[in-house]
Amino acid sequence: MKDENPRRILLVAACALVDADGRVLLAQRPEGKQLAGLWEFPGGKVEPGETPEQTLIRELKEEIGIVTKPACLAPLTFASHTYEDFHLLMPLYICRRYEGIARSLEGQALKWVRPRDMRDYPMPPADEPLIPFLIDLL
Ligand code: C5P
């Protein structure tokens, strides 16, 4: 659905979940959603009253069964991208300490990917500029 206010700012929190081999988890956006088929960092919209860390703790549990805590989420960088209907601000956190084995709880495909291989996975335009940060860091 087209938003009536193209200048609306949308705040989405995203997380680079890192495994012991330095790979990062990507999730494929499911059919029926905007940008379906593209690969993204897990996360979601920051709901009113939430901090981005709270959003990530909630979304990681709901979407992939991963449990973590605020102290294990470190802000890494910020994506800022203007889509047709809204402007997206998206802080990217990195998380190396968590409990659980990532599994798809909402039907989305999941893939552990080395940062240098991420270009093989088409991502939303907001997410793509984040890849160099992960290549430099991991
Ligand atoms: O995931 P959700 O559909 O709630 O995100 C809202 C919008 O934010 C998406 O339609 C997409 O345009 C953008 N988004 C993005 N990169 C992400 C997550 C969301 O560009 N990793």
Atom of ligand 1 nearest to the CA of 86: 12
Question: What is the distance in A from the centroid of ligand 1 to the CA of 114?
Answer: 22
The interface predicted TM-score (ipTM) is 0.94
Domains of the chain: 9-137 (3.90.79.10)
Is this prediction's pTM over 0.90? yes
Question: What is the distance in A from the centroid of ligand 1 to the CA of 101?
Answer: 24
* Look-up of token digits 């609306």: 8
pLDDT digits (tens, 9 = 90+) for 52-96: 999 999 999 999 999 999 999 999 999 999 999 999 999 999 999
With a 6 Å cutoff on the Cβ, whether 34 touches ligand 1 is yes
With a 6 Å cutoff on the Cβ, whether 18 touches ligand 1 is no
So what's the pLDDT on residue 5? 67
Q: Show the beta-strand stretches assigned E in 1-138.
A: 9-17, 24-28, 39-40, 43-45, 74-82, 87-95, 110-113
Question: What is the distance in A from the centroid of ligand 1 to the CA of 9?
Answer: 12
